[in-house]
Structure 1
Amino acid sequence: MAQHASGVRFGMSDLLAGVTASAVVLPKAMAYATVAGLPVATGLYTAFVPVLLYALLGSSRVLSVSSTSTLAILTATQLAAVVPDGDPGRLFTVTATLTLLVGAILLLAAALRLGFVASFISLPVLVGFRSGIGLVIILDQLPKVFGIHIQKDNFFMDLFHLIQALPETSWLTLAVALATLAILVVMERRFPHSPAPLLGVGAGIALVWGWGLNEAGVSIIGTIPVGLPGLTMPDLALVLQLLPGATGIALMSFTETIAAGRAFVQKGEPDIAPNRELAATGLANLGGAFFGSMPAGGGTSQTAVIRSVGGKSQWASVVTAAMALATMVFLAPLLSWLPHATLAVVVIVYSVGLIQPEEFRRIGRIRMMELRWAAIACLGVLLFGTLQGIVVAILVSLLGLASQTAQPRVYVIGRKPGADVLRPLSGQHPGDETIPGLLIVRPEGRLFFINAQYVASQVRQLIESEAPRVVVLDMSRVQDVEYSALIMLMEKEQRVRAAGIDFWLAGLNPGVLENVRRSGLARQLGEGRLLFNTRAAIRQYQQQYPLPDDRADRD
Structure 2
Amino acid sequence: MSTDSPVHRRSGFRIPVLEWAHDYQKAWIKPDVIAGVTAAAVVLPKAMAYATVAGLPVQVGLYTAFVPMVIYACFGTSRPLSVSTSATLAILTAAAANEVVHGGGTTALMSATATLSLLVGAILVLAALLRLGFVANFISDPVLTGFKGGIAIVIVLDQLPKLVGIHVAKGSFFHNVWALIVGLPHASMTALAVGLATIALLVALEHYYPKSPAPLIAIACGIGAVALLGLQARGLEIVGHIPTGLASLTMPDFALAETLWPAAAGIALMSFTETIASGRAFARSGEPRPLANRELLATGLGNAAGALFGSMPAGGGTTQTAVNRLAGARTQLAELVTAGVSLATMVLLAPLIGLMPHATLAAVVIVYSIGLFKPADFRAILEVRRMEFIWALVALVGVVLVGTLNGILIAIVASLVALAYQTSDPPVHVLRRMRGTNVFRPVSREHPDDEAFPGLLLLRPEGRIFFLNASNVGNKIAPVIEQAHPDVVALDMRAVFDLEYTALKMLTDAEKKYRESGVDVWLVGLNPQVAAVVENAPLGKALASGRMFLNLEEALAAWQTRCGRNSSTS
Looking at structure 2, the residues matched to 126 and 6 of structure 1 have their Cα atoms a distance apart, in angstroms, of 37
Q: Is the 8 A contact 1:80 1:86 kept in 2?
A: no
What residue is the counterpart of 1:97 in the other structure?
A: 115
Question: 1:58-207 residue pairs with structure 2 within 5 A?
Answer: 58-207=76-225
Question: 1:161-310 residue pairs with structure 2 within 5 A?
Answer: 161-310=179-328
Looking at structure 2, the residues matched to 427 and 515 of structure 1 have their Cα atoms a distance apart, in angstroms, of 36
Equivalent of 1:325, from 343, 365, 375?
Answer: 343
Question: TM (normalized to structure 2)?
Answer: 0.94
Shift of residue 546, structure 1, vs aligned partner: 4.8
What residue is the counterpart of 2:24 in the other structure?
A: 8
Q: Which moved more, 1:408-417 or 1:290-299?
A: 408-417
Q: Is the 8 A contact 2:100 2:256 kept in 1?
A: no
Looking at structure 2, the residues matched to 546 and 126 of structure 1 have their Cα atoms a distance apart, in angstroms, of 58
Structure 2, gaps ≥5 residues long: 1-17
CA-to-aligned-CA distance 1:133-185 (integer Å, 9 cap, x gap): 01111111011111112232222331232223222221110000111112111
CA-to-aligned-CA distance 1:235-266 (integer Å, 9 cap, x gap): 12211111000000000000000010011001
| Aligned partner of residue 229 in structure 1, secondary structure | coil
Percent of aligned pairs sharing the same letter: 55
Looking at structure 1, the residues matched to 537 and 412 of structure 2 have their Cα atoms a distance apart, in angstroms, of 36
Q: Is the 8 A contact 1:193 1:304 kept in 2?
A: no
What residue is the counterpart of 1:442 in the other structure?
A: 460
What residue is the counterpart of 2:57 in the other structure?
A: 39
| Aligned partner letter, 1:307 | R
Q: Is the 8 A contact 2:128 2:296 kept in 1?
A: yes
2:552 corresponds to 1:552? no
Q: Is the 8 A contact 1:546 1:552 kept in 2?
A: no
Q: Which moved more, 1:98-107 or 1:82-91?
A: 82-91
Shift of residue 394, structure 1, vs aligned partner: 0.3
Question: TM (normalized to structure 1)?
Answer: 0.96
Q: Is the 8 A contact 1:405 1:451 kept in 2?
A: yes
Considering only aligned residues, what root-mean-square deviation do their CA atoms show, in Å?
A: 1.7
| Aligned partner letter, 2:185 | P
Looking at structure 2, the residues matched to 389 and 505 of structure 1 have their Cα atoms a distance apart, in angstroms, of 45
Looking at structure 2, the residues matched to 506 and 290 of structure 1 have their Cα atoms a distance apart, in angstroms, of 61
Looking at structure 2, the residues matched to 291 and 418 of structure 1 have their Cα atoms a distance apart, in angstroms, of 73
Question: 1:396-411 residue pairs with structure 2 within 5 A?
Answer: 396-411=414-429
| Aligned partner of residue 439 in structure 1, secondary structure | strand
CA-to-aligned-CA distance 1:82-102 (integer Å, 9 cap, x gap): 112252111011000000000
Shift of residue 553, structure 1, vs aligned partner: 9.5
Shift of residue 127, structure 1, vs aligned partner: 0.5
2:444 corresponds to 1:426? yes
| Aligned partner letter, 1:457 | N
Q: Is the 8 A contact 2:205 2:214 kept in 1?
A: yes
CA-to-aligned-CA distance 1:328-385 (integer Å, 9 cap, x gap): 1111111111000000010011111100110111111111111111111111101110
Looking at structure 2, the residues matched to 74 and 373 of structure 1 have their Cα atoms a distance apart, in angstroms, of 21
Looking at structure 2, the residues matched to 544 and 384 of structure 1 have their Cα atoms a distance apart, in angstroms, of 65
Looking at structure 2, the residues matched to 553 and 145 of structure 1 have their Cα atoms a distance apart, in angstroms, of 76
| Aligned partner of residue 21 in structure 2, secondary structure | coil
Structure 1, gaps ≥5 residues long: none
Looking at structure 1, the residues matched to 347 and 290 of structure 2 have their Cα atoms a distance apart, in angstroms, of 34
Looking at structure 2, the residues matched to 222 and 427 of structure 1 have their Cα atoms a distance apart, in angstroms, of 72
Shift of residue 398, structure 1, vs aligned partner: 0.5
| Aligned partner of residue 354 in structure 1, secondary structure | coil
Aligned residues: 551
Structure 1 residues 137 and 454 mapped into 2: Cα distance closer, same or farther (>3 Å)? same
What residue is the counterpart of 1:364 in the other structure?
A: 382
| Aligned partner of residue 270 in structure 1, secondary structure | coil
Looking at structure 2, the residues matched to 431 and 369 of structure 1 have their Cα atoms a distance apart, in angstroms, of 33
Looking at structure 2, the residues matched to 418 and 513 of structure 1 have their Cα atoms a distance apart, in angstroms, of 30
Shift of residue 129, structure 1, vs aligned partner: 0.5
2:567 corresponds to 1:535? no
